[in-house]
Amino acid sequence: MSNTIESRCGILCGECEYRESMGCKGCTNIDNPFWGECPVKASCESKGHEHCGQCAEFPCKQLNDFAYDKEEGDDGKRLEQCRKWAGL
């Protein structure tokens, strides 16, 4: 398992179906995603963290809601990824 950080929230951008079609450089290489401003990315970067797993509030309600959202969520997979990156 690679320890390279791919996103703030734990999504693996390399596995994202929109990466190629939208020409996205990945969460850590852009100011804002193609769909607008991401509150998780903004929160994480404002605290100076590389990813949410480094945050004392992890997993906060906002991140948890994202991870378990019925349409956009991934059943918490991204939270597990943050834990791996943090060595938890």
* Contacts to ligand SF4 by CB under 6 A: 7-9, 11, 27, 33, 38, 40-41, 43-44, 47, 49, 52, 55, 57-60, 62-63
Residue 85 CB: number of other CB atoms within 10 A? 21
Q: What's the min distance (Å) between Cβ of 47 and ligand SF4?
A: 5
Q: What's the min distance (Å) between Cβ of 48 and ligand SF4?
A: 9
Which residue number, 1 or 15, has a Cβ lying nearer to ligand SF4? 15
Contact 67, 79 (CB under 8 A): yes
Q: What's the min distance (Å) between Cβ of 7 and ligand SF4?
A: 3
Count Cα atoms within 13 angstroms, Cβ side, for 68.
6
Alpha carbon distance 88, 81 (integer Å) = 10
